[in-house]
Amino acid sequence: MYLTIKTIHLSLLSLSFIIFFSRGIMMLLKNPFYRHQIFRFIPPLVDTLLMVTGITLMIITEQYPTTQAWLTVKLTALVVYIVLGVIALNRIDNRRIQSISFIAALTTLFFMVSVAMTHQPLGIFSVLFS
């Protein structure tokens, strides 16, 4: 069960990344398709399923944000990623702010992945402080 849910979770993460990255590139290239109606339905669906599988994994492994520092950091970074993604793709028509938010969102996403992979609150930076 665990391995199946984890595989689904990682597949959804990959799909979510591909959608976000593609939309961000379209935004940077000034292609208006990044605001197409399909993106009002598909990304929220994928991201909701991603959250459901993440919560399921948390329950299966009995690792909770209140007891696991790395998970607290990962979920905090998730909130930052969501806010930056909304700024980059939905709320502001200032290309500079959108571009900075997009790059910051991608950086936050990569940090989140490193936290998840290492199970360390500093993620990839944990090697610098060990």
- Per-residue pLDDT of the chain in tens (130 residues, 90 and over written 9): 999 999 999 999 999 999 999 999 999 998 888 888 898 899 999 999 999 999 999 999 999 988 999 999 999 999 999 999 999 998 678 889 999 999 999 999 999 999 999 999 999 888 787 6
pTM over 0.95: no
How many alpha carbons fall within 13 Å on the CB side of residue 105?
23
Token pair, residue 2, equals: 């665990």
Kindly calculate the radius of gyration of the chain based on its CA atoms and give it in whole angstroms.
Answer: 16
Question: For residue 126, what are the CA distances in angstroms to 7, 121, 129?
Answer: 26, 8, 5
